[in-house]
Amino acid sequence: MLNQTLTAVPRDCEDCPIRHRAVCARCEADELEQLDKIKYYRSFEAGQTIIWSGDQMDFVGSVVKGIATLTQTMEDGRTQMVGLLLPSDFVGRPGRGSAAYNVVATTDMVMCCFRKKPFEVMMSQTPHIAQRLLEMTLDELDAAREWMLVLGRKTAREKIASLLSIIARRNATLNLADVTGSMVFDLPLTREAMADYLGLTLETVSRQISSLKKDGIIQLEGKRHVTVPDFDRLLAEAGDDSDGGMLA
């Protein structure tokens, strides 16, 4: 299979779809120019493992297009997803030599990579990058803590409803749509990936999705295309208060 996405890769930061949300969001023109010198694009196919936990990492970077997962695995194979990487999310940790998690592309993907060493140097010199990275890391920490509540205390049905509401919300904000009433989106994850995210088995995921469908909370076309007729009802099933736990 030829990789057609390579030709679609942006050359210029000005045209970059994640220019104002990624780690470079606050950079000025001259800083972008500096970044440009240490950056390169890489494309990945759906299913491809981008990084193995424990591997040496000589780059960090941003997801430009597509979706990837961050997973942790035990020796006996039990797997837990610990992050879902969407466009503009950052991959890697400055100052660390080896990867702490597996990173796997779940769709075809494009990443904007920075060579690690020069990126670290730049970070110590240009506060705009470190500031933005701090902000993004704090957001991820909040998201991780939200997931700890989901994993530790919610029922299987609530877990599924929580995941659907998060995907629906992210989709809406990405498309600048309203976060009310009816919403339509495609699931970017297989049943197994959803199970790994939620600490369930894929059979339980399947059963709970069927149950939500039977109860009219969601509608399904095919296996992946979801319609949520009433977002507040979905939130209620997730056990969240109606504001969805959003913070200023």
Partner DNA sequence: CATAAACTTTGACACAGATCAACTGAAAGA
Partner DNA sequence: TCTTTCAGTTGATCTGTGTCAAAGTTTATG
The packing angle between helices 156-174 and 202-214, to 10°, is 80
Residue 58 touches which member of DNA, its own copies, none, C-beta under 5-8 Å by kind: none
- Quick note: the x/- pattern for its own copies over 138-177, rule CB under 8 A, is x-xxx-xxxxxx-xxxx-----------------------
Residue in this structure with the two tokens 């299979």, named with its chain if needed: 1
Question: Of 12, 14, 15, 241, which one interacts with its own copies (CB under 8 A)?
Answer: 241
Structural contact between residues 122 and 129, judged by C-beta atoms closer than 8 angstroms: yes
Residue 117 touches which member of DNA, its own copies, none, C-beta under 5-8 Å by kind: none
Structural contact between residues 43 and 5, judged by C-beta atoms closer than 8 angstroms: yes
Question: Of 2, 75, 176, 222, which one interacts with its own copies (CB under 8 A)?
Answer: 75
Question: Of 204, 231, 235, 237, which one interacts with DNA (CB under 7 A)?
Answer: 204
Q: Tell me the window of 15-23, 53-61, 121-129, 216-224 that interacts with DNA (CB under 7 A).
A: 216-224
Residue 22 parent element (H or E): none
**CB of 212 vs its own copies, minimal distance in Å:** 19
Considering the rule CB under 7 A, would residue 209 count as an interface residue with DNA? Answer: yes
Considering the rule CB under 7 A, would residue 215 count as an interface residue with DNA? Answer: no
Q: What is the 3-state secondary structure (H, E, C) of 30-89?
A: HHHHHHHHHEEEEEECCCCEEECCCCECCEEEEEEECCEEEEEECCCCCEEEEEEECCCC
Report the interface residues with DNA, using CB under 7 A. 47, 155-157, 190-192, 199-207, 209-210, 220, 222-224
